[in-house]
Amino acid sequence: MRGRRGDRMTINIQEHMAINVCPGPIRPIRQISDYFPRRALGPEGGGRDLREAPARLAPLALAPPAALLGATTPEDGAEVDSYDSDDTTALGMLEFDLLYDQASCTLHCSILRAKGLKPMDFNGLADPYVKLHLLPGACKANKLKTKTQRNTLNPVWNEDLTYSGITDDDITHKVLRISVCDEDKLSHNEFIGEIRVPLRRLKPSQKKHFNICLERQVPLASPSSMSAALRGISCYLKELEQAEQGPGLLEERGRILLSLSYNSRRRGLLVGIVRCAHLAAMDVNGYSDPYVKTYLRPDVDKKSKHKTCVKKKTLNPEFNEDFFYEMELSALATKTLEVTVWDYDIGKSNDFIGGVSLGPGARGEARKHWSDCLQQPDAALERWHTLTSELPPAAGALPSA
């Protein structure tokens, strides 16, 4: 394009963008399909590699797909993970062992390690810990927790957590919920994922190993952080869950280990208060100051009350105290032993934690324990019993120590 001297030359935008933007020939970008041979049948029936043209190109500085994904190749001599990064495994995997000891009524949970957890912090890492609950009846009383591992997505705990007072009925009906969370000191802890294991999958005295992907089952928010509509839905879901579990469901408040023995030589019932486990926390510090009271009903003379000492700041107290009721064996057939656990408070009424009644009118394990005691004199029978929120009518008038 030419013009007269002194005239300003004008260049359109197409010509302007074409100036000095092509320093040399443009090489095609290598596709991922170039890494895999594709053959077609030639005229002679032989195979022809369709990647011949791209193969003539200069090699690009691209890593193989395995290195791009951060996986370890077999040439490195390391173990290769077999799971895919889908929506489930993106949360990570948890490895643990479970063992139900039927003789000691304990459930041993060995939390080993986790791998590939979801990053939760700004540095691309997390501060994970594991907590356990037994369902139904999840509360602070039956929560167990591991230590927190700092700044890692592949934590190793190797911690053993134990539930005491686990009966065969619990193994049949309960589910162990294992949650992995990220600890945050500046705000609330964040939920990463969870696993739910029905205890009926366990066999007595046989350790079972698990290596399972975490699932996205975020628990409902606390009532204080929910709107009125969500609180209503939450209450409805809780009522629906209780209706499905059966009518007359009572809140569990912990477990108590009792020993019963009728002494034929002394002609009386020996009641042993051995220990309690996973009691409900009644104080603001997250603990209780528990003690146990026993009554043999009906108590006309009001002389059957016995009380243990107070154990300070614990949810798993050990008492090892024995009480003796002088009575004929035939008279015990119409009696009921009431056992209640209380939280001792200074300057105000003591809080009721839970209770259980053993006698001919009881149900399940409580009734069986009482009948076995009467049928087997001079034999010390130890059984775990569940403490419920139901307060015996006679004990309601005696809240003080």
DSSP state of 63: -
- Cβ–Cβ < 8 Å for 353, 279: yes
pLDDT, residue 28, reads 60
Query: In the prediction, which pLDDT does 72 show?
Result: 37
pLDDT given for residue 216 in this prediction: 82
Task: Decide: 252 and 386 in contact? Cβ < 8 Å.
Answer: yes
Q: Please say if the pLDDT value at position 41 is more than 60.
A: no
pLDDT at 228: 53
Q: What is the mean pLDDT of residues 221-250?
A: 49
**Residues 104-162: tens digit of each pLDDT:** 889 999 999 999 999 998 888 999 999 999 888 656 678 899 999 999 999 999 999 99
Q: What is the mean pLDDT of the chain?
A: 77
Per-residue pLDDT at 4 = 61
pLDDT in tens, 301-312: 778 899 999 999
Per DSSP (E only), the strands in 266-317 are: 268-277, 290-297, 306-307
Angle in degrees, CA 68, 115, 210, rounded to 5 = 135
State the Cα–Cα distance between residues 134 and 386, nearest whole angstrom.
13
pLDDT single digits (tens) 340-362: 999 998 888 888 999 999 998 88
Question: Residue written as tokens 């443009």?
Answer: 26
- Give the residue ranges of DSSP H helices in 177-321: 228-245
CA 114 vs CA 94, 183, 359: distances in Å: 4, 15, 47
Percent of the chain with pLDDT over 70: 65
Output b/e per residue, 310-343; b: 16+ Cβ within 10 A: bbeeebebebebebebeeeeeebeebbbbbbbbb
Q: Is 88 helix (H, G, I), strand (E, B) or coil?
A: coil
Question: What residues have CB less than 8 Å from 65, skipping those under 6 apart?
Answer: 32, 35
Distance CA 363, CA 365 (A): 7
* pLDDT given for residue 397 in this prediction: 44
Q: Is residue 383 within 8 Å of 275, Cβ to Cβ?
A: no
Element (H, E) at 370: helix 364-375
Whole-model pTM: value is 0.59
- What per-residue confidence (pLDDT) applies to 107? 94
Q: pLDDT value at position 57?
A: 41
Enclosing H/E stretch for 17: helix 13-17
Report the run of H or E that residue 68 belongs to, with start and end.
helix 65-68
Q: Give the DSSP H or E segment for 323.
A: strand 318-326
Percent with pLDDT over 90 in the chain: 43
Query: Phi-psi region for residue 320, left (φ > 0), alpha (ψ -120 to 50) or beta?
Result: left
Partners of residue 101 on adjacent β-strands: 106
Q: Are 236 and 221 in contact (CB under 8 A)?
A: no
The continuous run of DSSP H or E covering 253 comes out as strand 252-263
pLDDT for residue 346: 87
Sort strands 306-307 and 318-326 into parallel, antiparallel or unpaired: unpaired
Type of residue at 49: D
Query: Is the pLDDT at 42 greater than 80, yes or no?
Result: no
